[in-house]
A = this chain, B = another copy of it.
Amino acid sequence: MNLTVTEENYIKSIFHLQQAEGNVSTNELAASLHTKPASVTDMLKKLTNKNLLNYIPYQGVRLTKDGKKQALMIVRKHRLWEFFLVDKLQFGWDEVHEVAEELEHVSSKKLVEKLDSFLGHPKFDPHGDPIPDIHGNMVAVRQFNLIDIKPGTLVEVCSVGSQSAELLELLRHKNIGISTEMLIMKKFEFDHSVEIKIKNSQHINISQQLAQALFVKLV
Contacts and interface: CB of A to CB of B under 8 A. Distances in A.
Interface stretch (A37-45, A59-67, A88-96): A88-96
B102 A114 contact: no
A99 interface: yes
B98 A102 contact: no
A114 B118 CA distance: 17
Contacts of A103: 103, 106
B106 A102 contact: yes
Nearest to A107: B102
A111 interface: yes
Contact of A91 (B88, B90, B98, B114): B114
Interface in A56-103: 85, 88-91, 95, 98-99, 102-103
A169 to B, nearest CB: 21
A115 interface: yes
A88 B108 CA distance: 16
Given A99-B111, A111-B99, A118 B89 contact: yes
A114 B98 contact: no
B102 A108 contact: yes
A68 to B, nearest CB: 24
A114 to B, nearest CB: 4
A78 to B, nearest CB: 13
A123 to B, nearest CB: 20
A106 B5 CA distance: 13
Interface in A172-197: none
8 contacts: A89-B111, A89-B114, A89-B115, A90-B118, A95-B110, A99-B108, A99-B111, A103-B106
